[in-house]
Amino acid sequence: MINLILFGPPMAGKGTQATMLIETYDLIHLSTGDMLRAEIKAGTQLGLEAKTFMDRGDLVPDAVLVGMIQSTLSSNPDAKGYIFDGFPRTIPQAEALDKGLESLNTSIHMVLSMEVPREELRERRVKRALASGRTDDDPEVFEKRLDNYMNLTFPVKGYYQERNKLTEVDGIGSEEEVFARLKAAVDSLASDQG
Ligand code: AMP
């Protein structure tokens, strides 16, 4: 199995790159943002609860996320691996993910941290807000999401750095340029493992 985390602030391009990576490496794309939006669309209780947090630009409580991830991991026993996109966003989520993977006798192999400066993220937000119609792309909500990223999610980088799993990748450039950098990092991992 090969398990990757695509890490980075909102608007770093994680979703786009995850889509390109799953095609190349035949992995399961696990985007917690997409999963939550699907719950909202389906009108489930979980979706209703999550929506209040998402609309404010806040993180959905850890217990909800951990439950979602655990059920996905256990319902895909034949997976070749995963790309976690937008998860983990807190240290408790990272710890829960480690435990969940350990029970499958596997682990996170690499955390690809997409580095994009704040000003560039703000410029991208303006463009996506026009196309996406996502209420959490509104300017005030987006600022809250950036603050939550710095306060709650950024420390997750240190968690993986301490475990020698972190690779920083320049997230500026065309989709193809960024993808080439990510691919080079993942391929180096595959050759390390022989
Ligand atoms: P995303 O599409 O990854 O930007 O996620 C959209 C929103 O869903 C976030 O702003 C959070 O409110 C919520 N969300 C997604 N993933 C997580 C997570 N791992 N932990 C907490 N909240 C999350």
Is 124 among the catalytic positions? no
Is 145 among the catalytic positions? yes
Beta-bridge mates of residue 169: 114
Can you tell me the distance from the alpha carbon of 6 to that of 186, in angstroms, rounded to the nearest whole number? 11
Nearest ligand 1 atom to the CA of 36 is 8
Nearest ligand 1 atom to the CA of 148 is 10
For residue 18, report the phi and psi dihedrals to the nearest 5 degrees.
Answer: -60, -40
Is 122 among the catalytic positions? no
Catalytic, out of 56, 134, 165, 181: 134
Closest to 26 in 3D by CA, of 159, 191, 181, 190? 190
Can you tell me the distance from the alpha carbon of 44 to that of 47, in angstroms, rounded to the nearest whole number? 5
* pLDDT tens track for 22-32: 999 999 999 99
* pLDDT tens track for 133-189: 777 888 999 999 999 999 999 999 999 999 999 999 999 999 999 999 999 999 998
Ligand 1 centre distance from Cα of residue 191 (Å): 33
Beta-carbon count within 10 A of 20 CB: 15
Global pTM value: 0.95
Task: Check if the beta carbon of residue 4 is closer than 8 Å to that of residue 21.
Answer: yes
Is 125 among the catalytic positions? no
* pLDDT tens track for 85-128: 999 999 999 999 999 999 999 999 999 999 999 999 999 998 88
Q: Please tell me if the CB atom of residue 87 comes closer than 6 angstroms to any atom of ligand 1.
A: yes
Task: Check if the beta carbon of residue 179 is closer than 8 Å to that of residue 172.
Answer: no
* pLDDT tens track for 70-81: 999 999 888 999
Can you tell me the distance from the alpha carbon of 2 to that of 112, in angstroms, rounded to the nearest whole number? 13
Catalytic, out of 56, 122, 128, 181: 128
